[in-house]
């Protein structure tokens, strides 16, 4: 593969700075609250479009990239090109052309029920989208007056391409309990999180089918609960047509520290941290079928570090698990216990180790005069002067694991992006990043075809973007 050849190098060809967030989606760099779009595919990034500065009332809160599905008949020619679904601060859902920023469709979300839609996410990627409100909170004066607020969140559900309204529902204290802190929808599952660390799962599709009072279509005239209007038009917005009147059947529940809960693997397993602070950094891998802890299912790197290690199911659908610590990445796999086909164990598939060959951390040193000096402290596992893993990602098109490791050298942090074989973990390519990397800032790194893109967020809302282009060194 060309990218792994010795003569293939990457050089910084473009850098920009901004006072507003910078986003990257499939070869496009978005700036100025999505008013400016720059292509990163060309040898030198160039402007695709620049719209006039929008008013604060038109500020975009969240966005999702919508890609054309292959081999499907769609109602509009614009549906065959990539577009952005964006959510504005005034509760408008807009579909924008990714090539021009032109508004292709617009839907008004908030009728009388809700004024604060803020988040976009996928239930089924590129098929079913969820628009979630901020948590509904009463003003202090209303609370002091004894007024009760039972609705915590609103969820609006859409099918995309063509964009169609499925329904809107509320997450109510009377149904789900008083201690709900957050909700999410993923792969047909409604996930409800509670303040005591409890996580409960419900069948979201069954909820839609059971509690749907009436179906509505965008642009349809309606008379609903005394309101007359057009679905998705201002000022009526969308009707709350899914009324959960009874607690839905519970699929599963677990208690985990900070609501950390993941499902994956084959057969299905889940990962939790026991719900006590002393167990932070300890992960239990259990069978979803019977809650049995897998053999070797307690994973604990025993890190002494400021930043915690993290664990997740591998996004490559292999059922493996990635466990990342400051200086070690473990790729784990589930396999049957020998002679016990009904029991699973966790085995190591491969590891990736940070380069700390030059690191010396002796607690006892001897001076030139022969005096023995004992240190009163030891270095943390993620001490800035030691190479430390900061980002681990999966590149699905090339089937690679990418890692970013950082070492503090004097006042500067030096980072390099490495590509590893996803099957065996072998190092295939290392790309040094020229800019200084401050570990206290927020960073994102993308690899896309022949470019590397690094987005950095500094304090006081200062953002930078560095683009590296592939070239061949003769």
pLDDT of residue 201: 96
pLDDT in tens, 91-131: 999 999 998 999 999 999 986 566 689 999 999 999 999 99
Distances (CA, A) of 243 to 168, 209, 251, 394: 9, 11, 20, 40
Q: Which of 128-132, 228-232, 365-369, 382-386 has the lowest mean pLDDT?
A: 365-369
Q: Give the residue with greater pLDDT, 68 vs 131.
A: 131
Q: In this model, does residue 11 exceed pLDDT 70?
A: yes
C-alpha closest to that of 131 among 52, 62, 215, 80: 62
**Mean pLDDT within 38-46:** 86
pLDDT of residue 285: 97
pLDDT in tens, 391-419: 999 999 999 999 999 998 877 899 999 99
Q: How buried is 342 (Cβ within 10 angstroms: 0-12 exposed, 13-18 middle, 19+ buried)?
A: exposed
Q: In this model, does residue 226 exceed pLDDT 90?
A: no
pLDDT in tens, 205-215: 999 999 999 99
**Mean pLDDT within 446-454:** 93
């Amino acid at each position: 593969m060309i990218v792994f050849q010795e003569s293939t190098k990457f050089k910084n060809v473009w850098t920009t700075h901004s006072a507003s967030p910078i986003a990257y989606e499939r070869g496009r760099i978005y700036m100025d609250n999505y008013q400016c779009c720059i292509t990163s595919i060309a040898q030198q990034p160039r402007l695709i479009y620049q719209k006039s500065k929008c008013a604060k009332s038109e500020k975009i809160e969240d966005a999702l990239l919508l890609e054309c599905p292959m081999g499907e008949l769609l109602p509009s020619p614009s549906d065959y090109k990539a577009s952005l679904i964006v959510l504005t601060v005034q509760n408008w859902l807009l579909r924008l052309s990714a090539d021009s920023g032109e508004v292709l469709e617009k839907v008004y979300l908030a009728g009388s029920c809700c004024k604060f839609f803020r988040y976009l996410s996928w239930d089924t990627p590129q098929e079913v989208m969820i628009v979630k409100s901020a948590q509904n909170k009463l003003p202090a004066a209303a609370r002091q007056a004894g007024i009760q607020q039972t609705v915590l969140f609103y969820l609006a559900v859409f099918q995309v391409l063509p964009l169609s309204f499925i329904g809107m529902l509320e997450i109510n204290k009377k149904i789900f309990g008083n201690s709900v802190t957050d909700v999410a929808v993923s792969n047909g599952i409604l996930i409800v999180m509670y303040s005591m660390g409890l996580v409960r799962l419900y069948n979201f599709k069954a909820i839609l089918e059971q509690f749907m009072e009436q179906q509505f279509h965008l642009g349809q005239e309606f008379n609903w609960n005394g309101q007359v209007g057009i679905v998705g038009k201002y000022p009526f917005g969308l009707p709350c047509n899914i009324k959960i009147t009874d607690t839905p059947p519970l699929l599963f529940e677990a208690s985990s520290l900070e609501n950390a809960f993941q499902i994956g693997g084959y057969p299905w397993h889940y990962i939790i941290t026991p719900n006590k602070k002393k167990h932070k950094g300890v992960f239990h891998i259990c069978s979803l079928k019977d809650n049995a802890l897998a053999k070797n299912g307690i994973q604990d790197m025993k890190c002494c570090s400021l930043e915690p290690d993290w664990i997740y199911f591998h996004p490559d659908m292999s059922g493996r698990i990635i466990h990342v610590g400051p200086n070690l990445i473990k790729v784990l796999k589930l396999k049957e216990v020998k002679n016990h086909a009904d029991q699973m164990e966790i085995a190591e598939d491969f590891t990736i180790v940070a380069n700390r060959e030059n690191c010396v951390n002796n607690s006892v040193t001897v001076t030139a005069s022969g005096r023995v000096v004992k240190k009163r402290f030891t270095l943390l596992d993620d001490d800035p002067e030691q190479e430390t893993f900061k980002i681990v990602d999966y590149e699905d098109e090339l089937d690679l694991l990418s890692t970013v490791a950082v070492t503090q050298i004097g006042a500067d942090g030096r980072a390099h992006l490495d590509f590893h074989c996803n099957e065996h973990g072998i190092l295939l390519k290392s790309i040094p990043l020229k800019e200084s990397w401050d570990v206290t800032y927020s960073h994102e790194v993308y690899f896309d075809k022949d470019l590397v893109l690094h987005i950095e967020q500094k304090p006081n809302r200062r953002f930078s973007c560095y683009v590296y282009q592939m070239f061949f060194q003769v």
